[in-house]
Amino acid sequence: MTIRANKFLAAAIAICLAAATLLPLPALAQEVAVEVDYRDDITVNHPYYVEQLPGGNLLMTRVGHQSPAVVEITPAGQEVWSYQGVQAAVARRLTSGNTLIADSGAPGYPFVPRVVEVTPAGKVVWEYRLPSLAAAPRYAQRLPGGNTLITLSYRIIEVTPDKRVVWSYGWGRPVPPGTPGHLANPVQAVRLPNGHTLIVDQGFTGGRVLEIDARKQVIWQVGDGTYNPSPASQGTVQGTAGSNEEQSSQPEVPGLAGSGAGTTPAVDTVPRAVRLKRPTGVLRLANGNTLIADAGTSTLLEVAPDRRVVNSWSWRGALAGLPVMNQWLVTPVDQSRVIVPLTLTSSKSRVLVVTSPALLPDGAEFAVPN
């Protein structure tokens, strides 16, 4: 299925949401299918975060210098809802039908970063303002009890409906790695049913995913904030057009330190160090495993509680031939699907819902692209 946007404008202002660098693609391609291919020819706004709603519509944040907005698009490409004038890192549709938006505060009113809840009619029913643009929110989650978990640049906070901070993690400023509570560049924090908090810390030289308990103790972690591929993964074969990547002539499974295998999906029999280059999204599964989308290697990893990688697959095949300038907040939908927002070197945008057919649950089907 192909979805084409028929309006709006788009130029690549990444604002203070993320570093807009040319991202390499992983060395290993494999069979994938594209369920949805949304194409936006406008070059002054770009999709930063995209959520696929239960009915199949796409809820996306468009950031840029002209007409930024949160928009909902049907599978036929029709815009059915929008909230204008927000440079939003993330927008999440709530069970009430309202939309929770993490707004960076620029360029429009009220010119301050905030997390805002709006009705389908666009009425603001809740708002939490941050003190400065340096505290622009990166992610927000509405918790079952009504509180809101907000991801900031160096801190995670939990805010009550009456705007009291009742829990926090992190210093709110840069501190040396290894310092308890250190966060380098968090992009997502989600509260788990057990009360723990799962944090994606993208870092700057490599990322990590950590789980902390209510006492703010790190009880589980994947990645250490550095990304140093093994010598076997360093090659001189050039990547495809637009990837700006040097690929290995003897590729290894992306994300696995010293795997050297070159085949995926991959299953570890013993725990090995997992290195994350640029993690952007996480999902805790019912079986206790954790899905991690690493946009830096275009890889989805499924990691067991004992840190074994029980599955990994690359969506690089879906990007073949595309002059990719940047992948934004790639998010896992389930073990076989990811949502990939892209900016091309032409400054046009694509949003792909990519599926690994080999990992589809029994009886599941995927749509064949037109």
Cα(256)–Cα(266) distance, rounded to whole angstroms?
9
Q: What is the pLDDT of residue 29?
A: 45
Domain for residue 161, yes or no? yes
What are the φ and ψ backbone dihedral angles of 126, each rounded to 5 degrees?
Answer: -160, 140
* Helix and strand counts by DSSP (H, E) for the chain: 0, 28
- Number of domains forming the structure of the chain: 1
Cα(89)–Cα(72) distance, rounded to whole angstroms?
15
Cα(57)–Cα(74) distance, rounded to whole angstroms?
5
CA 208, 35, 19 angle in degrees (round to 5)?
35
CATH of the domain at 37: 2.130.10.10
Domain for residue 370, yes or no? no
Q: What is the pLDDT of residue 229?
A: 63
Residue 60 belongs to what H/E stretch? strand 58-64
Q: What is the pLDDT of residue 41?
A: 81
Given a contact cutoff of 8 angstroms between Cβ atoms, the answer to whether 99 and 59 are in contact is yes
What are the φ and ψ backbone dihedral angles of 277, each rounded to 5 degrees?
Answer: -85, -50
Domain for residue 202, yes or no? yes
CA 268, 269, 272 angle in degrees (round to 5)?
55
Token pair, residue 341, equals 């927002």
Q: What is the pLDDT of residue 192?
A: 98
**pLDDT tens digit at each of 370 positions of the chain:** 444 433 333 333 333 333 333 333 333 446 899 999 999 888 888 999 999 999 999 999 999 887 799 999 987 778 999 999 999 999 999 999 999 999 998 866 678 999 999 999 999 999 999 988 888 999 999 999 999 999 999 999 999 999 999 999 999 999 999 999 999 999 999 999 999 999 999 999 999 999 999 999 999 999 999 987 654 443 322 333 333 333 333 234 445 554 433 334 445 555 567 999 999 999 999 999 999 999 999 999 999 999 999 999 999 999 999 999 999 999 999 999 999 999 999 999 999 999 997 765 544 433 322 2
Given a contact cutoff of 8 angstroms between Cβ atoms, the answer to whether 38 and 48 are in contact is no
Q: What is the pLDDT of residue 191?
A: 99
Domain for residue 209, yes or no? yes
Domain for residue 367, yes or no? no
pTM of the model: 0.81
Residue 140, amino acid: A
**Radius of gyration of the chain, Cα coordinates, nearest whole angstrom:** 19
Given a contact cutoff of 8 angstroms between Cβ atoms, the answer to whether 21 and 56 are in contact is no
Domain that holds residue 84: 2-359
Enumerate the β-bridge partners of residue 314.
299
Domain for residue 252, yes or no? yes
Q: What is the pLDDT of residue 365?
A: 38
